[in-house]
Amino acid sequence: MNNNTLEKKSLGASFKRFIFNNKVILLFVLLSIACIAISGSSVSYIAGEVISRFARNTCIVLALIIPCMAGLGMNFGIVVGAIAAQISIFWIVHWGFTGITGFLLCVLMSTPLAIFFGWLLGKLFNKTKGAEMIAGLVLGFFAAGLYRLFVLYIMGGVIPYNSPYLLDRGFGLRNAFDLTGNIKYAVDDISLLTTISVLAVLLFVSTVIVALHDKKQGNAIDTKKVLGKLVAAIVLLAVGLVGKSVPMLDQLFGQKRLITYDAVFFGSIIYLVYLALMLVLKRKEPKKLVASAVLAVVLLASCFVPAVKTVYLGTRIPAMAFALIAFFAAFNNWLVNTRLGQNMRTVGQSRAVATSAGIDVNKTRIIATCISTVLAAWGQLIFLQNLGTFNTVQQQDNVGLYAVAAILVGGANVQKATNKQAIIGVILFHTLFVVAPLAATKLVGDSAVSEYIRMFFSYGVIAVSLAMHAWKTSGKKKA
C-alpha cells in the first residue's frame, strides 16, 4: 500500500530524492568536471592516468568493505596490511625471485603476516568498541613507527640482509626501493589471453572440487550444470591457448596491455551476444535485460564517436589487474552470502542481538579484521608492482587515508559501504587527484602548490563527505 503511494509521487519528487541521496557523488562529479575544464589538459591524458590509478588502487579500497559490514567502520588499520606486503617484498626481492613467480611468493609470504597483524588489530578493536576508527588510525601511526625501526635498523642491523638496497653503513634500507626488473608490472603485463587461460583453469579446478566434495557428502549433483561449467572452462582455455598462436588475435589480445578501444568494442559485442543467448535460452526475464542491452549498445556506439575513439585508442587497460578487482569484489559479495558473512552483518547491526543469537561477536570481528588486512596486503602488492618503485620508509603512511577518502567519495558511510561505492569512489577520487593539482597550477601559476592541494584535498574529502553524510542522516530523521 505504501509502495503504491510512493510510486505515484511525481517524477520531480523522485528526482529530488535521487539528488539528495547521491549528493556526495554529485558534488565530486561537478568538482571533477570543473577541474578538468580549468586544467585544460587532454582527456586522453586524464583518462589514461585514471585507468592506471584505478587498476592499482581499487583492490585496497575493496578491503574496507568487510570490516564496515561487521560494524567496525572505516578500517584505517589497513596500514598494517600494507606493511605486511612491503616486508614480504623486501625478502622475496632479496632472494632473487622475479616476475609473476616473485609476485605470487610475495602474496604467499604476506598472507600469514597480514593474518597475524590483522589478529592483533582485531584484538585492539575488540578492546575499543565504538572507537575503532580512531583506534585504527592511531594504531596505523604506531605500526608505522615500529616499521621504521624495522626498516632503518633491524634490517641489516639485527637480521642479516645483504643486498644493494642496504645503506653503506651496514644497516637500514635505502630510501627508495626499486622494483624494476623484479616484480614491476608482474601483474599488469599479463595479457588478456593469459588471464582467460588462468580463469579457465581456476574454473575447471573449482568445479571438480565442488563436484567431488558433493559426491563425498552424498549430495545430489546437478550433472548438467557441472558439465556445462567444465565445457565452458575448456572452451575458454582453448580460446586462451589458440589465441596466442593466431597472429591477429595475439596482436589484439595477447599484448601486455589491452588497448581500451579493443576492450570496449569487443567487450560490448560479446556482452550483447551473451544477452541474446540469455534471451533465447529464457534464463532471465527480458525486462531485466533491457537496461544492460542499452548500456552495451551505448558503449558500442561510443566507439564510433571520433572524440571518444581518440581517448579509447590512446589508453590501455591491464587485463589481469582488472580481473583481480573483479575477483576482490566477487569475494566480498560471496562472503555476504555465507554463514560467516551473515554473522558479520548481524554483529555489525547489533552486538547484543548477535550475542543472544549465539554468535561469538569478538571472534567474528577479529575474522573480519584479518580478512580486511589480508586483502589490503594483496592490494598493496598490486599497487606496488604497478608503481615500480616505492618509498621504503613511508609508502604505507597514507594507504588508509586515501582508501577511506576514495570510498567515502563514492557515497559510502561508516555504516554501509558496497563494491559499487568503492569503484565509483576510486574513479572520482583519483580523477580529482589527477586534475585538482593541474587546475590549481593553472590558476595560481605555481607547480609547487599541487602537493599542498593534494594533501588538503584528501583530508578535505573525508571531512566533506562525512559532513554530507551526517546531513543526509539528520534529514532522514526529520522526514
Partner 1 sequence: MENEYVLKMEGIAKEYYGNRVLKGVELKVKRGEIHALMGENGAGKSTLMNILFGMPVIHSTGGFEGTIEFDGKPVNIDNPHTAMELGIGMVHQEFMLIPGFTVTENVKLGREITEPTVASSIFGKSLEKLDKPTMAADTRKALDTIGLGVEEYAMVAGMPVGYMQFVEIAREIDKTGIKLLIFDEPTAVLTETEAERLLDTMRVIASKGIAIIFITHRINEVIDVTDSMTVLRDGTFVDRLETKDTTAARIAELMIGRKVEKLVDDTDEDNRVISDDDIMLSLKDFYVEMPGEKVKGVDLQVRRGEVLGIGGLAGQGKVGIPNGILGLYPAEGEIIFDGEKVEPSKLGDALHKGIAFVSEDRRGVGLLLEESIEQNTIFTSMQIQGKFLKKFGPITQFDKKAAKEHTLNMIKALDIRCTGPDQYAGRLSGGNQQKVCLARAITMEPKLLVVSEPTRGIDIGAKKLVLELLAKMNREQGMTIIMVSSELNELRSLCDRIAIVSDGKLAGIFAPDASDAEYGLAMSGVTEGGQA
Beta bridge partners of 259: 316
Which ranges in 150-258 belong to alpha helices (H)?
A: 155-157, 192-217, 223-245, 247-253
The residues of the shown chain that bind partner 1, judged by CB under 8 A, are 206, 209-210, 213-214, 217, 219, 337-340, 342-343, 345-346, 349-350, 352-359
Tell me how far apart the alpha carbons of residues 197 and 100 are, in angstroms, rounded to a whole number.
15
For partner 1, which is the closer residue by CB, 190 or 367?
Answer: 367
In whole angstroms, how close is the CB of 274 to partner 1 at the nearest point? 24
Tell me how far apart the alpha carbons of residues 121 and 402 are, in angstroms, rounded to a whole number.
19
In whole angstroms, how close is the CB of 462 to partner 1 at the nearest point? 25
For partner 1, which is the closer residue by CB, 127 or 213?
Answer: 213
For partner 1, which is the closer residue by CB, 14 or 350?
Answer: 350
Tell me how far apart the alpha carbons of residues 374 and 367 are, in angstroms, rounded to a whole number.
11
In whole angstroms, how close is the CB of 111 to partner 1 at the nearest point? 13
For partner 1, which is the closer residue by CB, 5 or 337?
Answer: 337
Q: Which of 219, 194, 222 is nearest to 207 (CA)?
A: 222
Task: Please report which helix (H) or strand (E) contains residue 391, including its range.
Answer: strand 389-391
For partner 1, which is the closer residue by CB, 42 or 206?
Answer: 206
Q: Which of 208, 256, 244 is nearest to 55 (CA)?
A: 256
**Whole-number Cα distances in Å, 130 to 9, 70, 74, 113, 345:** 39, 12, 12, 26, 16
| SS3 at position 389 | strand
In whole angstroms, how close is the CB of 353 to partner 1 at the nearest point? 5
In whole angstroms, how close is the CB of 226 to partner 1 at the nearest point? 13
Task: Please report which helix (H) or strand (E) contains residue 334, including its range.
Answer: helix 319-336
For partner 1, which is the closer residue by CB, 328 or 433?
Answer: 328
In whole angstroms, how close is the CB of 443 to partner 1 at the nearest point? 45
Q: Which of 65, 30, 17, 7 is nearest to 435 (CA)?
A: 30
121, 79 contact by CB (below 8 A): no
Count other Cβ atoms within 10 Å, centred on residue 226: 15
Tell me how far apart the alpha carbons of residues 62 and 404 are, in angstroms, rounded to a whole number.
10
Specify the DSSP class assigned to residue 316.
E
In whole angstroms, how close is the CB of 354 to partner 1 at the nearest point? 8
Tell me how far apart the alpha carbons of residues 78 and 60 are, in angstroms, rounded to a whole number.
8
In whole angstroms, how close is the CB of 118 to partner 1 at the nearest point? 15
For partner 1, which is the closer residue by CB, 214 or 397?
Answer: 214
For partner 1, which is the closer residue by CB, 169 or 339?
Answer: 339
For partner 1, which is the closer residue by CB, 245 or 356?
Answer: 356
In whole angstroms, how close is the CB of 479 to partner 1 at the nearest point? 13
Tell me how far apart the alpha carbons of residues 261 and 47 are, in angstroms, rounded to a whole number.
13
